[in-house]
Amino acid sequence: DTGVSQDPRHKITKRGQNVTFRCDPISEHNRLYWYRQTLGQGPEFLTYFQNEAQLEKSRLLSDRFSAERPKGSFSTLEIQRTEQGDSAMYLCASSDGQIYGYTFGSGTRLTVV
């Protein structure tokens, strides 16, 4: 296991389309996080899972966003009816509960045209 994997790395979509991103965390990590990062800004927290339970959702996560972690392993983040303002880097991170184990993936860059 070489780290947190995210797929795809880049996604270009037309406004109004739905997109889904996948995150594969480090296998022994029970915590999984999604963050969003816009150009020139630090990452912003979106949501957090412990095993399969979604424990917190940010106000940034509108009704068009949904995240799942069905078996407590990989996670998906879906954005419905994409808007240009959704264009950003979507980062996934996983943790074993100890901060040294908090590892980010390389992200999925979404461009909505």
With CB under 8 A as the contact rule, which of the stretches 13-21, 69-77, 78-86, 94-102 interacts with other proteins? 94-102
Query: Looking at beta carbons, which pairs linking 1-5 to residues 24 or more positions away fall under 8 Å?
Result: 1/26, 1/27, 3/103, 3/105, 4/92, 4/93, 4/94, 4/103, 4/104, 4/105, 5/105
Closest CB to other proteins among residues 82, 107: 107
Parallel, antiparallel, or unpaired for β 103-104 and 88-95? antiparallel
Q: Binding of other proteins at residue 35 (CB under 8 A)?
A: yes
Q: Is the dihedral of CA 40, 9, 101, 56 positive or negative?
A: positive
**Residue 64: what residue type?**
R
Q: Contact between 93 and other proteins (CB under 8 A)? A: yes
Q: Check binding of 40 to other proteins (CB under 8 A).
A: yes
Q: Which is closer to other proteins, CB of 17 or CB of 41? A: 41
* In the complex, minimum distance from the CB of residue 100 to other proteins, in angstroms, rounded to a whole number: 7
> Should residue 91 be labelled a site residue for other proteins when binding is judged by CB under 8 A?
yes
Residues lying near other proteins in the complex (CB under 8 A): 4, 33, 35, 40-45, 48, 56, 91, 93, 99-100, 102-107
